[in-house]
């Protein structure tokens, strides 16, 4: 299975507020999900998803991220203005992983492997079985007529049906 999907001509991304933007000079070589406790804490989520490139193929095109040395082997870049996690870099490695959610087209980087499975939360395997609700339906249910986004709109439009309202 390939990491790259068709139609991903340009690999760009950035943080939620738009203060930090990046470009990948080559398509990602590998995409994965990590369930380890460090990734859970760094994201506040059950897992993180990364798409990796050689470190020299990542260019910061707007602003510069802050760096947190999360362990003796890894550092993480994030936006100090809005807190968006942007990268994971194992210091002794020549590659760097950008968070798939920070890509302008996250659908284009499909994970092919999982790490840190000893920390996988027991309920993540059943997520597909949970009832689903579109954002528009949630808004209608709670009487929300309009959401004015304060997020950066530097990214390309997403696929139809994918919400950026929240």
The whole-angstrom distance between residue 7's C-alpha and the CA centroid of its chain comes to 19
Helix (H) or strand (E) holding 68: strand 66-69
Contact 89, 76 (CB under 8 A): yes
46-73: average pLDDT: 97
Q: pLDDT (tens digit, 9 = 90+) per residue, 118-161?
A: 999 999 999 999 999 999 999 999 999 999 888 876 654 444 34
Q: pLDDT (tens digit, 9 = 90+) per residue, 1-34?
A: 455 554 456 899 999 999 999 999 999 999 999 9
Q: What is the pLDDT of residue 150?
A: 83
Q: What is the pLDDT of residue 43?
A: 95
Helix (H) or strand (E) holding 61: strand 58-62
- 2's tokens: 């390939």
Q: pLDDT (tens digit, 9 = 90+) per residue, 98-116?
A: 999 999 999 999 999 999 9
Look up residue 45 and give its DSSP letter: S
Q: What is the pLDDT of residue 160?
A: 38
- Angle value at C-alpha 166, between 137 and 76, nearest 5 degrees: 140
How far, in Å, CA of 49 to CA of 111, rounded? 7
Q: Which residue has the higher pLDDT, 58 or 7?
A: 58
User: Which whole-number Å values give the CA distances from 14 to 35, 45, 114, 138, in the listed order?
Assistant: 22, 19, 23, 27
- 102's tokens: 């920070």
Contact 22, 86 (CB under 8 A): yes
How far, in Å, CA of 67 to CA of 45, rounded? 19
């Amino acid at each position: 299975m390939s990491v790259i999907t068709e139609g991903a001509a340009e690999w760009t991304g950035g943080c939620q507020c738009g203060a930090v933007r990046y470009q990948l000079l080559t398509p990602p070589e590998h995409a994965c999900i990590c369930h380890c406790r460090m990734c859970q804490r760094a994201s506040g989520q059950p897992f993180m998803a990364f798409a990796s490139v050689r470190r020299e193929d990542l260019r910061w095109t707007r602003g510069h991220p802050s760096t947190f040395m999360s362990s003796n082997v890894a550092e993480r870049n994030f936006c100090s203005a809005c807190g968006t996690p942007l990268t994971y870099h194992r210091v002794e490695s020549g590659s760097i992983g950008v968070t798939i959610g920070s890509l302008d087209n996250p659908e284009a980087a499909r994970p092919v492997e999982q790490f840190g499975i000893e920390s996988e939360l027991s309920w993540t395997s059943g997520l597909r079985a949970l009832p689903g609700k579109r954002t528009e339906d949630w808004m209608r249910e709670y009487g929300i007529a309009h959401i004015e986004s304060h997020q950066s709109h530097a990214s390309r439009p997403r696929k139809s049906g994918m919400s950026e309202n929240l």
